[in-house]
Structure 1
Amino acid sequence: MTNFSMSITTVMLLFCMSTFGQNSVSINITGDNKNPLSNVSVILGETAKQTNHEGKVIFNSISTGTQKIKISHIGYRQIDSLIQITNNPTFHLQLQKNHIRTEEVLVTATRAKNNASTTFKNIDKREIERKNIGHDIPFLLNQTPSVIVSSDAGNGIGYTNITIRGSSNERINVTLDGIPLNDAESMGSFFVNVPDFASSVQNIQVQRGIGTSTNGAGAFGASLNMQTNAVEEIPYAELNNSFGSFNSWKNTLKVGSGLINNKFAFNARLSRIASDGYIERASSDLKSFYVDGGYYGKKQTLKATLFSGKEKTYQAWYGTPEPLLLSNSGRMHDYATNALGFKKNTETYDRFMNADRKYNYYTYDNQTDNYTQTHARLHYSNYISENLNFSAALHYTRGKGYYEEFRENDKLAHYKIPPVLDGADSVKKSDLVRRRWLDNHFYGTTYALNYQPNSNLKLTFGGAYNQYRGEHYGEVIWSKHSSPSMLGEKYYFNDAKKYDMSIYAKADYTLDKWLLNLDIQYRNLHYKTKGEDDKVKNLDIHDDLNFLNPKAGITYLINTNSHVYTSYAFANKEPIRKDYVENPLNEFPKPEKMSNIEAGYRYTSSEINIGANLYGMFYEDQLIPTGAINDVGSPIRQNVDRSYRMGIEVDAGWNINRYFTWRATAALSDNKIKNFKEYVAVYDNQGNNTELKEITYHKTTIALSASNILSSELQFKPTEGLELGLQTKYVSRMFLDNTNSKERSIAPFTTTNFTSRYSFSALGLKKIDLFLHVNNILNEKYAASGYTWGSMDTDGNRSYYNFYTPQATTNYMLGMNVRF
C-alpha cells in the first residue's frame, strides 16, 4: 500500500471513528401562537446556537444518549431539561409566554437589531464567564474584529486601553443598561473605576462605526452596549476565586434571592482584584460592590441598582524607554541624560542603565492614582401592550479622587508658595509632593418609547438629558522648603459644567425581503469652565454645539440563512477637555465630523457563521494623536482637515464537529491623513527654541492605527464539561506619530494564549468550574501602545525619543468558580 493510500485510509478511519454514534439533531421552536420563533437561544450539551428565521436550529455530531438542553427567549418561559438522542431526531417545541417581565427592554432602544444594517457583534453571558478571570473588560473583547488592547501594568489589570478600528476609547460610546458610562469631559471609559463589572454583565453588543443612536457621547468609531444580569428565578450563591502570575488575585462573591412571590428579586456582588503588575511597582488594589433589587410584574418592572468601585493603582503611564526593549546600549546614555534628565553616576542614572523592559520611571512610594466612583440608577419599564412599551431611568454618578506624585526641585512660585529663607539664601525651588484632584457629579435621565403598530413597522423614540459638574484642583501636601501653613491650599482651581441633551427617532420597516432602517438624532451641548488649570491660567472655556446625526440603511434577506446590508451615517463629536487645555497649535479645537459607509454580508447556519463587511469612515477636522502624551499618559491631539479609515472586516465561526469549533477574525484597513502638517521644534546649540519647522506630508498613516489585525480561536471539547482553547492574535506595525517613520513605530506582534476549563457537579453543588489560562505561551516580547517626542537642530538633524507600554511575557491565572 502506498503512503498516499495509507494516508487516505487513516483519514477515513479517523472520520468514521469520530462520527460513530453521532447524530444530527433538528429542533423547531414555535411560540404560543404556533408561529416560528427566530433568535431563540438553544444550548444542547455544551454547544450554544440560535434558531433561524424558520425557528429551526440543527446540531451535528451529537452523541447518542441523554443530553441536557436549555432554551431561552425574551418574554418566554425558559426550558431546562433532558432529552434522549437516537437516530438523528427532530424535536418540535412550543414556548409559553412568561408573565415575568425582564429588564431586556432597558437596552432595546439603543441596540442594533438582528439583520440591521449596522456592523455589530454580540457577546453572550456564556462567553463573558468563560473569559472573565480578573482582566479588565477590554481584554474580554480582544478576539472581536479590529480590536487592540493594552495595559499600563502589562497584565490586563488596572488601567487598560482599547482601540476599535484605530479609534481610542474617547471615541467609543459605552452604556450600561442604556445609561452612559463615558466621562463627560475626557470622553474616556475607565473600567478600572468599576472593577470586575464583567461579573455583573449579561451580554455586550459591540457596534463598529457610528452605529445606532445611543445615549451619552456620540459613537465615533464604535460603541459598547452592556446589559447587567437578567433576573434569575431560582436563588443562587456563587464564589469565584483565581490566582496567578505577579501575585494577581480575583475574589468574587455573588448572591441572588431568585424570584420572591413571582414579583421581587435581589442580587449582590462583592469583588476584590489585586496584582503587583508586570511592570515594576505597577500594582493595583481594586474593590467593588454591586447591589440591585427589582419588582417584576406582568406589565411593569422597577429596578434600582447601586454599584461602586474604588481603585488604587501605582502609576505606570510614563512608559519604558526604547533602548530597554531593544537592548540598544548605544542610546542608553542619550535617553538617560536627554530624555529622562538623569545626571551621570547618580542613583537614578545607574538604576536606569541596569534596568530591563519592566522599568518604571517612578520610584516614590505613593506615586499612585486613587479614585472612587459610585453609580445609582433607577430603571422603570412598562409593557403597555404587546405593541407598545416604555422605559425610563434616572441616574447619578459620584466620582472623587486624586493622583499623588513626587516633584523634584520644582518652582515654588508655581504652587503660589513664596520663597523660603534658608539663612541668607532665598530658596525658590524645592522637592515636594502634590495631589491633583477631580471631584465630580454626573446625573440625568434617559427614556425610550418602542411602538410596533404592525408586523412590518417598528418605531422608537428616545433621548436623554444629562448634567456634569466637575472641580479640578491641586494641593501640595509636603515640601522640603515651605511653611507648614502653606500646605493643603489649592494652588489652582477650575470649575467645569457640561449640559448634554439629545433626542432620537428610529424606524424599522419590513417589505417582503427588504428591511429599511432610518435613524436621526439631535444633540445640544453646552460646555463651560472657569478658573485655572495646572498648566493654563485663566482657563475660561465657553462652547455651545448643536449636532444633527442622521443614519439610513437597507438590508436584503437572500434566504433564511443569509442577507446583505448597506448603510450611511453622519455624526458630529465635540472636543474633549485636553483638546482645549493642551492644543499643540494653541488653537480653539473644532468639533469633528464623520461620514460612515458600511456594506456587508452575513451567513448563519448550524455549522458556519460568517460576517464580512466593507467600511469607510471619512473625517473632517478629525482630532488625531500627535504622538506625544500629557503628564497623565493621555495622547495630545490636533485637528486635521481631511482624513479617512477604510477597510474590510471578517468575523467567522465554524462548528467543525462536536469536538472542534474554530472562530477567526480579520481586519485589513488603510488609515490616512491628507496633506498633514507636522510642526517640529528647532533648538540651537545653546538649547534655545528658535522656531517651529513645518513639514508637509501629502498622505500619511494615522498614528497608532494598525493596517492588519488577525485573530484565531480554536476550541476543543474532548468530553462533556471539558474545554480547551488556543487563541492567537496578530497586529501589524503601528506608527507612534503621523510621519510613517519606521524608527518611530511599534513593531508587529503575535500572541498566543491557552485556556482550559472543566465544569462538573459534585457534593450537591450546582456547578464547579476549574480553569487555567496561560497567556502569551510563546513568550512574545511586545508592546501594544506607546508615544514619541523629539526636536531638530538648526542643521536639520532630527532627534527622537520613543517610549512604550510593554506587555507581560508568559503568565497564568488559575481558578475555581463554585455555584450553589
Structure 2
Amino acid sequence: MKSTFLILSSKSSNNFFRKFSFNLQNKVGKTKNSFLFITLGVLSISASAQNNQKVQDSTKTEKLDEVLVNAVRVNANSPITHSNLTKEEISKRNLGQDIPVLMNFLPSVVTTSDAGAGVGYTSIRVRGTDGTRVNVTINGIPYNDPESQGSFWVNLGDFASSTESLQLQRGVGSSTNGSGAFGASLNLLTDAFSEEASGEISNSFGSYNTRKHTVKLSTGLLNNHFEISGRFSKIYSDGYVDRAFTDLKSYFLQGIYKDDNTLIKALTFGNAERTYQAWFGLTADQLKENRRQNPYTYDNETDNYWQDHYQLHWNERLGNNWSTTLGLNYTKGKGYFEQYKTDEAAANFNNLIEDNSDVIVRRWLDNNFYVVNANLTYKKNALEIISGVSYNTYSGDHFGEVIWGSNLAPNTNIRDRYYDGDATKNDFSLFSKATFKLAEKVTGFVDLQGRFVTYKTDGINSDLVNFVTDANFSFFNPKVGLTFKQNDVSSFYASYARANREPNRDDFKAGVTENETLNDVELGWRYHNNKIMLNSNLYYMFYQNQLVLTGQLDDVGSPIRETSGASYRLGLELDAAIQFCKAFNVSSNLALSSNKNKNFNTSINGEVVNLGNTNISFSPEIVIGNALNFYPAERLQLSLLSKFVGEQYMGNIDNEESKLDSYFVNDFNFNYELKPNKIFKSIVLSGLVNNIFNKKYVSNGYFGSFDFSDSSSATGTTTGYFTGFYPQATTNFLLGATLKF
C-alpha cells in the first residue's frame, strides 16, 4: 500500500500531477486545469521538503467523523481566526431557540430575530457583515441558498439537537464549498456515531407559549459496524411580536457503517415551517405606542416552506497516510408566502384583476440543489495536504398566483400565474491547501482555490419586468499564512487571504453585474495554559466594489444592497477564558472596529453629494460578550451571560435618524444533571431567563429615503427619510428537562 500511495518524492509526484492534470483538462477545460496544475505543483514542493521525516500513521489518530469536515475546518494552530462550539456547550442553552441565537456570545457576532424571541426568522452578522456573506456548510455541503446567498435558519428547526460541533471562522477563512465567505464561514458537523444504544426525550416550555419537544434514538453499533439513529422535533412559539408565531416540524435520520478504515454515513433531514410575517417592523411612533404590535392584520399572512436534504458521505483510509472523502447531496425546497393587498391596480397583477381590487396572492419558490464534493488528504508528521473539488448545480422556479380577488378579470381562474420565471446556477471549485513545517518553530500554510460560476435567469419577475441574466465568473482565491510557536503556551500567526464573490439575484435585478473583491490581513497571538486561554487578533479587511446594505427592504423583506466602491473594516478582537478555581471561570470577548466607506456618494435633495468617509451600515464599533460560570455543586452550573452591542447606523450616509442605539442585555442560564439508579441514565434540568433586567431594545431595523417636489428648495427637490425597527423581547424564560436512557 505504501509503495502505491507514498508518491510525493519529487520525480514520482511530478509524474502523478502531470497525469492528473492532463486527465482533468479534458473534463473541465484548460483554464481550470492550469490552475489545478499550478496549485498541486506548488504543494508538491512542500511535500518533497518533508519527505525525509519519520513516517507515522497520522490519519488513524483522528476521529472518522471529523474527517468529513477536515477540508473546510482549521486546527487550533492554524493562522486562521476561528472559534469552536462543542455539542456539550450548545446543549446547555438548547431550549428551542435557533442556532444563530445559540452563537450569540461568540466574538464579533450580533444576532437578531424578526419575531423578537429567537425562534423563527433569525439572522446573524459577523464583523458587521450580514448573513448572505457568511458561508454555511453542513458536513462540508453548502447550505446557503445559491441565488440569494442567504442561510434560512427557520428551515433547520432544532438542528442544534443534531449538531456534534460547529466552527466559526472570521474573515475570509479557509477555502470552503459554495458561496464565497466574505466576512465569516460557519461549518456544522452533524451527530457522530454512538457505540451504545441510547434514547433521549427532551421537552421545554416558556414565555410566549414557546415549546420544544424532541425525541432521539440510537441503536448503538450493531455487530460493531452499523448504527441507525434519528430525531423528531416540534417547536412552536407565539413570538414576542403580536401573532408572529412560528410552527416548525423537523426530522433527522442517519445510518452509519464503520470499520477501522471506512466510514459511510447516509442521512436525511428536513423541516416544514409555517411562520406569521413580522418583517414589516414598526415606526418610531408605533414602537413608543406598543412595541409588540404587528402591522399585518390578515389572518394568513404567512410564510410556508418545506425543505428536505439527502446526504451520503464516504470516508476511506488508504494506507497509513492517505484518506479520501466523497460527499453527495440533494436538497428539495418548495414553498410560498401569502399576502393580502388592497385597492390594487390591474397592471400590477398582469391584468388578472380589475383596477382597485383587493387581492390575495401566493409567491412561490420551487427549487432543486445537487452537490458533489471529493477530497484527498495526505498526512505525515507536520505535513498535511488536502486537495478537493466541489460541484453544485441549482435550478429554481419563481412564480406568483392569484388565489382570490374581490374583482377578478373576465376569464381569470383561481391560481392563474401573474408572473413566472426560472433560474439555474452552476458552481465549480477546486482547491489545494497545505500545512507544513518551515523551521523548528515555524509552520506554513498555503491554500489556493479556483471557483467558476455561471448564473442564468429567464422569464418575468414579480414586478412584471423581463429578467434575463447570463453571467459567468472565474475567481482565483489565494490564502497564505505563518504560525510561530514561541513555546508550549504561546504562538503568533499572520495570514493574508483574498476572496471574490458574485452578485446575488437581487443585485442582478438592481443592475449590479461586477463581482466584489476582499483582501483580508490577520495578525494574531494565542496564549493557552492550564488556567488561561487568550486569543487576540488584528484584522484589516479592504474591499473593492463591496455590496453594502442600503438599509432598505424589497417587497418581500429582503435587504437591498448597493456598491460602495472602496471600503474597509479594521478591528481588534480579544477572546479569553480564565479558570479562577474549580468552581468558577470567566469567558469574555471584545471586538473593536472601524468600518468605513471611502468617498461615499449619494443623492440628497436632488444632487449627488460626496460625503467622504462614512460608516458602513449595521457595523457597530464595539461588541462585547461575557459569561460568568459558577459550579456550586457537582453537576450544577449557573451562568450569567452578558452582551453589549454599540450603536450602529442602518444606512451608509451617517444620518442620525438611521441610528440604532447601543444595548446591553443579560441572560441567566442553569443546568443540573441528576443520576438516577434506575430507568434513566441521567435527567438534565435546564433553564434560561433572557434579558433578566427587562431591557427594551432594538437589534435591527431598516432605513430609506424618498424625494419629493419642494419649491422652497434650491434644487426643487427635498429628500425625506423613513425608518423601521424590530423590537426584541423583554424578560422571558425557557425551562426544560431531558431524559436520557
State whether TM-score is above 0.5: yes
Residue in structure 1 matched with residue 735 of structure 2 by the alignment: 814
Select 1:267's aligned residue among 229, 253, 257: 229
Give the Cα separation in 1 of the matches to 2:60 and 2:440.
30
Contact 2:59 2:317 in 1 (8 A): no
**Shift in alpha-carbon separation, 1:104–1:405, aligned structure 2, 3 A:** same
- Listed one character per residue, the Cα deviations across residues 751-775 of structure 1 (whole Å, up to 9, x for unaligned) are 0001111111113311111111100
Contact 1:101 1:298 in 2 (8 A): no
- Listed one character per residue, the Cα deviations across residues 115-151 of structure 1 (whole Å, up to 9, x for unaligned) are 0000001111110111211100000111100000000
Aligned-partner SS, 2:474: strand
Contact 1:475 1:491 in 2 (8 A): yes
Aligned-partner SS, 2:157: coil
Kindly provide the amino acid, as one letter, of the partner of residue 771 in structure 1. Answer: S
- Residue 114 of structure 1 and its aligned partner are, at CA, apart by 1.9
Give the Cα separation in 1 of the matches to 2:580 and 2:719.
54
Aligned pair 1:580/2:514, yes or no?
no
Aligned pair 1:115/2:49, yes or no?
no
Kindly provide the amino acid, as one letter, of the partner of residue 580 in structure 1. Answer: F
Aligned-partner SS, 1:280: coil
Give the Cα separation in 2 of the matches to 1:815 and 1:481.
51
| Superposed counterparts of 1:289-328, under 5 Å | 289-325=251-287, 327=288
Contact 2:157 2:248 in 1 (8 A): yes
Kindly provide the amino acid, as one letter, of the partner of residue 637 in structure 1. Answer: R
**Shift in alpha-carbon separation, 1:677–1:98, aligned structure 2, 3 A:** closer
- Residue 800 of structure 1 and its aligned partner are, at CA, apart by 1.9
Residue in structure 2 matched with residue 442 of structure 1 by the alignment: 369
Contact 2:694 2:731 in 1 (8 A): yes
Residue in structure 1 matched with residue 42 of structure 2 by the alignment: none
Residue in structure 2 matched with residue 651 of structure 1 by the alignment: 575
Aligned-partner SS, 2:507: helix
Kindly provide the amino acid, as one letter, of the partner of residue 386 in structure 2. Answer: T
- Listed one character per residue, the Cα deviations across residues 535-572 of structure 1 (whole Å, up to 9, x for unaligned) are 25110011000000000000000111110000000110
- Listed one character per residue, the Cα deviations across residues 412-463 of structure 1 (whole Å, up to 9, x for unaligned) are 23222356xxxxxxx52200100000000000200111002x3132111012
Give the Cα separation in 1 of the matches to 2:62 and 2:450.
35
Aligned-partner SS, 1:743: helix
Kindly provide the amino acid, as one letter, of the partner of residue 260 in structure 1. Answer: L
Contact 1:136 1:157 in 2 (8 A): yes
Kindly provide the amino acid, as one letter, of the partner of residue 417 in structure 2. Answer: K
Instruction: Select between 570-579 and 102-111 the one with higher mean Cα deviation.
Output: 102-111
Aligned-partner SS, 2:339: strand
Aligned-partner SS, 2:430: strand
Kindly provide the amino acid, as one letter, of the partner of residue 590 in structure 1. Answer: E
Contact 1:406 1:433 in 2 (8 A): yes
Kindly provide the amino acid, as one letter, of the partner of residue 345 in structure 2. Answer: K
Aligned-partner SS, 1:617: strand
Contact 2:419 2:464 in 1 (8 A): no
Select 1:666's aligned residue among 578, 581, 590: 590
- Listed one character per residue, the Cα deviations across residues 263-300 of structure 1 (whole Å, up to 9, x for unaligned) are 00111000000000000110000010000001101211
Kindly provide the amino acid, as one letter, of the partner of residue 513 in structure 1. Answer: K
Select 2:184's aligned residue among 198, 222, 225: 222
**Shift in alpha-carbon separation, 1:214–1:99, aligned structure 2, 3 A:** closer
Query: Which contiguous aligned blocks of 4+ residues in structure 1 show a shift greater than 4 angstroms?
Result: 96-101
Residue in structure 1 matched with residue 616 of structure 2 by the alignment: 702
Aligned-partner SS, 2:561: strand
Aligned-residue CA RMSD (Å): 1.6
Kindly provide the amino acid, as one letter, of the partner of residue 372 in structure 1. Answer: W
Aligned pair 1:603/2:527, yes or no?
yes
| Superposed counterparts of 1:1-12, under 5 Å | none
Contact 2:114 2:278 in 1 (8 A): yes
Select 2:721's aligned residue among 800, 806, 815: 800
Contact 1:418 1:428 in 2 (8 A): no
Residue in structure 1 matched with residue 355 of structure 2 by the alignment: 428
Residue in structure 2 matched with residue 621 of structure 1 by the alignment: 545
Contact 2:577 2:587 in 1 (8 A): yes
Aligned-partner SS, 1:131: coil
Contact 2:204 2:734 in 1 (8 A): yes
Select 2:337's aligned residue among 396, 403, 412: 403
- Residue 309 of structure 1 and its aligned partner are, at CA, apart by 0.4
Q: Any stretches of 5+ residues in structure 2 without a counterpart? A: 1-57
- Residue 792 of structure 1 and its aligned partner are, at CA, apart by 4.4
Give the Cα separation in 2 of the matches to 1:504 and 1:431.
54
Aligned pair 1:787/2:729, yes or no?
no
Give the Cα separation in 2 of the matches to 1:165 and 1:125.
24
**Shift in alpha-carbon separation, 1:469–1:418, aligned structure 2, 3 A:** closer
Select 2:477's aligned residue among 549, 556, 568: 549
Residue in structure 2 matched with residue 335 of structure 1 by the alignment: none
Select 1:639's aligned residue among 563, 584, 587: 563
Give the Cα separation in 2 of the matches to 1:713 and 1:527.
45
Aligned pair 1:753/2:715, yes or no?
no
**Count of residues in correspondence between the two structures:** 676
Contact 1:524 1:547 in 2 (8 A): yes
Select 1:198's aligned residue among 160, 165, 174: 160
Aligned-partner SS, 2:465: coil
Kindly provide the amino acid, as one letter, of the partner of residue 768 in structure 1. Answer: I
Kindly provide the amino acid, as one letter, of the partner of residue 729 in structure 2. Answer: A
Kindly provide the amino acid, as one letter, of the partner of residue 601 in structure 1. Answer: W
Aligned pair 1:770/2:694, yes or no?
no
Give the Cα separation in 2 of the matches to 1:164 and 1:416.
41
Give the Cα separation in 1 of the matches to 2:368 and 2:341.
29
- Listed one character per residue, the Cα deviations across residues 313-337 of structure 1 (whole Å, up to 9, x for unaligned) are 0000001111233x3xxxxxxxxxx
Give the Cα separation in 2 of the matches to 1:198 and 1:556.
35
Give the Cα separation in 2 of the matches to 1:778 and 1:386.
57
Aligned-partner SS, 1:784: strand
Aligned pair 1:371/2:305, yes or no?
yes
Contact 1:566 1:599 in 2 (8 A): yes
Residue in structure 1 matched with residue 625 of structure 2 by the alignment: 711
Residue in structure 2 matched with residue 168 of structure 1 by the alignment: 130
- Residue 634 of structure 1 and its aligned partner are, at CA, apart by 1.5
Give the Cα separation in 1 of the matches to 2:140 and 2:65.
11
Contact 1:173 1:224 in 2 (8 A): yes
Aligned-partner SS, 2:88: helix
Rg: which structure is higher?
A: 1
Give the Cα separation in 1 of the matches to 2:422 and 2:286.
41
Contact 1:589 1:638 in 2 (8 A): no
- Residue 802 of structure 1 and its aligned partner are, at CA, apart by 1.2
Kindly provide the amino acid, as one letter, of the partner of residue 743 in structure 1. Answer: E
Give the Cα separation in 2 of the matches to 1:566 and 1:386.
31
Q: Any stretches of 5+ residues in structure 1 without a counterpart? A: 1-95, 328-354, 420-426, 683-691
- Residue 589 of structure 1 and its aligned partner are, at CA, apart by 3.1
Contact 1:625 1:636 in 2 (8 A): yes
- Residue 196 of structure 1 and its aligned partner are, at CA, apart by 0.5
Contact 2:59 2:322 in 1 (8 A): no
Give the Cα separation in 1 of the matches to 2:733 and 2:556.
29
- Residue 674 of structure 1 and its aligned partner are, at CA, apart by 0.4
Kindly provide the amino acid, as one letter, of the partner of residue 564 in structure 1. Answer: F
Kindly provide the amino acid, as one letter, of the partner of residue 512 in structure 1. Answer: E
Kindly provide the amino acid, as one letter, of the partner of residue 607 in structure 2. Answer: K
| Superposed counterparts of 1:499-538, under 5 Å | 499-510=426-437, 511-538=439-466
Give the Cα separation in 1 of the matches to 2:411 and 2:114.
35
**TM-score under structure 2 length normalisation:** 0.89
Aligned-partner SS, 1:108: coil
Residue in structure 2 matched with residue 571 of structure 1 by the alignment: 499
Give the Cα separation in 1 of the matches to 2:74 and 2:607.
47
Give the Cα separation in 2 of the matches to 1:199 and 1:601.
33
Q: Give the fraction of aligned pairs with identical amino acids, expressed as a percent.
A: 41
**Shift in alpha-carbon separation, 1:245–1:418, aligned structure 2, 3 A:** closer
Residue in structure 1 matched with residue 384 of structure 2 by the alignment: 458
Contact 1:101 1:296 in 2 (8 A): no
Kindly provide the amino acid, as one letter, of the partner of residue 169 in structure 1. Answer: G
Give the Cα separation in 2 of the matches to 1:104 and 1:536.
48
Kindly provide the amino acid, as one letter, of the partner of residue 507 in structure 1. Answer: A
**Shift in alpha-carbon separation, 1:472–1:304, aligned structure 2, 3 A:** same
Residue in structure 2 matched with residue 234 of structure 1 by the alignment: 196
Residue in structure 1 matched with residue 21 of structure 2 by the alignment: none
